[in-house]
Chains A and B, each alone.
Chain A
């Protein structure tokens, strides 16, 4: 090890050369002057905090954890990780009741699913929204995603599990809370596409929330407990020869990168086996192992929005290349821009206006592009864009499932009944 290497901490804040480029690309700095900007909040502030925790600045709560600072950094400083770790280590306020509710997607999702029609109806009532705004601090402008009365896991066990047994090759699907409690259709689309190319889908033995919302709301003990359960299940699936695929870029990013960097949980042994559905599908097509045959009557003008964590993963090229393979799809590129919601951030009353201001240029571009729909790999980007533009937003896997000629694809891949 050289002298220089010994002078660099784990979160490499010493590598910062103070160029301020991160701040140029920070979506929060652009709209919120109370946020000190990633350079100051991250590597600059870290020097002070190491000296005295008293120097911790509560304004770090405004960070979206979008990681755009890290994508922009010429010196590979883990600016976003420094900020998240500082919030966890030095944050003086305990998570509020509201934060705990927003963060605990599993408990809330399970309860809401049980009473889905009532919950969905109630959450859209103006008086209820006003009450939540006043007493909980959940902004009354925000539209909640609808809950599904049948959980994806329940549907899978009842209607899909047996069917999957006949496929010799299988992948494990980490569906995430959104698919399980709100939108099982995406999980069904995933199974439709992978079954059509001859690959069975199994679920993990035990799946908990990936933890992104708990990390953001500093419920670290719970996040770590869930992450350990997930890692155990992922190891088991990988041990059984399966890759673990996700349809959410944020869950994927959290398991691959936030587990080791923020929760300090080792995942190196399975990290390469955790991947996004579009990336795995692209790889199979690219290597000539499977063929996708699309319907001839599919006609849609669709723009792809790159979620921040997808930008950080660097994998949007797989989703966009797959979408461009669909003959009737008129592909529109959107400028790389944060949508502003950042998971639970945009639900909070004190951040709602910032959230909408950050996303405004994206919404304007979407509305000006004469689109049928928008594609994106992140569910919270979907809520934000649907609420703010009125256009439908779908995961690329759902668009592929819609455009796919299932029978022809099965034939092309010699899938037997």
Chain B
């Protein structure tokens, strides 16, 4: 089977590059081995939130000079980054999601542990604040669901109190959720979100409204709107004060919404999405990848003019570490790993860990190499790339999206 472009990996990076290729009229396929790290999503995309441990608020793209030379952002450059990342809100909106934020200035998102972290874009239903300003509320009602254990209002109370916001904590219940309590393991955000539609939302809204008495706003766990934001809007219309959400323990409701919305947009644009399949390897000819083989398709290969690999880092199995070595399992691409196992990590858990910056090394267009030879029609994007520490920099989503759009713009 022949395509113009095949994307290996069905997470945020893979889907966004595939969407752009399909939109440009290319025959595009995505091969996705299981669901992605988007299922752990907070509801916010970070661009560049920290440099040397200090938060970045104003003009994050003006600070690229402070990053290491082989950082993916520096390979792209400020001007091109602005152009590429400027497309993201449009793509998100085409997928049917609403988000707020700007490339010129980070805002702050509220983490489940009550901290404020710089972010670039945040989904419309999640808590975000303008940076360097007092919080917009005097009193907030923190509303949890009775017997739901994946949301920690005390942490939020602690964080908000430090910033002068008074909090009330209450647990509400509606009979529609009783069914989930039959099995102790099933009181989960995503399971509740499948029940919380239509009249169940109205019942919940009535309880939330009672708990919100005297507060300027309600903050709730992200348990609403797994397939669309319609239940969120419905709840908000029925509660007398503004309602905001904070992410929960995975699986993440906004993450599933984002994953499915992007997948559906890709398919609407004519793309072929192959779920639950793993690429076993490829056939190379003169430094070009000609075709790939997958577990499901067996002896029938997938051919394409160009390929994009967006298989993620260790978590997504884009990189594998065993006792002896770290390797890229699909094509054996060259990595920036140096030394043996003891050099991969530092014993101080909170230190900047070397393995976090491991990944595939590429040329300036993000084309990786095998045994030192650049593969001319293969592009690597997202967490698979070398040269950055997404956790310390608060840069994961920005790099994922920028490199995905860069690859797509090289191909279209």
Contacts and interface: CB of A to CB of B under 8 A. Distances in A.
Interface stretch (A177-185, A211-219, A308-316, A402-410): A308-316
Nearest to A287: B300
Contacts of B190: 20, 23-24
B276 A44 contact: no
A222 B183 CA distance: 34
B180 A24 contact: no
Interface in B23-46: 33-36, 39-40
A9 interface: no
B186 A76 contact: no
B147 interface: no
Given A4-B323, A19-B250, A33-B182, A317 B194 contact: no
A11 interface: no
Interface string A64-100: 0000001111111000000000000000000000000
B256 A76 contact: no
Most buried by B among A19, A35, A74: A74
Interface SS of chain B: loop
A39 B190 CA distance: 14
A76 B33 contact: yes
Nearest to A44: B185
Interface in B159-192: 179-180, 182-183, 185-186, 188, 190-191
A246 B276 CA distance: 22
Contacts of A29: 186, 191, 194
A375 to B, nearest CB: 17
Interface stretch (B125-133, B291-299, B352-360): B291-299
Interface string A116-151: 000000000000000000000000000000000000
Contacts of B275: 71-72, 311, 314, 336
A162 interface: no
Interface string B245-268: 000001100001000000010010
Interface string B31-67: 0011110011000000000000000000000000000
A336 B36 CA distance: 17
Contact of A39 (B185, B296, B324): B185
A279 B296 CA distance: 12
A415 B201 CA distance: 63
B4 interface: no
A109 interface: no
Given A20-B190, A24-B251, A73-B34, A36 B276 contact: no
A317 B272 contact: yes
B179 A2 contact: no
Contacts of B298: 272
B229 interface: no
Contacts of A336: 275
B323 A72 contact: no
Given A33-B183, A313-B296, A74 B35 contact: yes
B194 A30 contact: yes
Interface residues of A, number: 41
A333 interface: yes
B323 to A, nearest CB: 6
A24 B38 CA distance: 13
B36 A74 contact: yes
Contacts of A25: 35
A3 B276 contact: no
Interface string A358-387: 000000000000000000000000000000
A314 B33 contact: no
B36 A314 contact: no
B305 interface: no
B277 interface: yes
A59 B191 CA distance: 18
Contact of B183 (A40, A74, A75, A76): A40
B186 A23 contact: yes
A306 to B, nearest CB: 10
A328 to B, nearest CB: 20
B276 A72 contact: yes
B276 A20 contact: no
A413 B300 CA distance: 22
B295 to A, nearest CB: 8
Contact of A21 (B39, B185, B274, B297): B39
A44 B184 CA distance: 13
A33 B177 CA distance: 10
A34 interface: yes
B1 interface: yes
A164 to B, nearest CB: 26
A40 B180 contact: no
A169 B35 CA distance: 42
Given A25-B35, A75-B34, A333 B316 contact: no
A200 interface: no
Contacts of B185: 36-37, 39-40, 44
A54 B179 CA distance: 25
Interface string A12-32: 000000011101110001100
Interface of B: 1, 33-36, 39-40, 179-180, 182-183, 185-186, 188, 190-191, 194, 226, 250-251, 256, 264, 267, 272, 274-278, 294-300, 316-317, 322-324
7 contacts: A24-B251, A25-B35, A34-B183, A39-B185, A74-B33, A286-B1, A312-B276
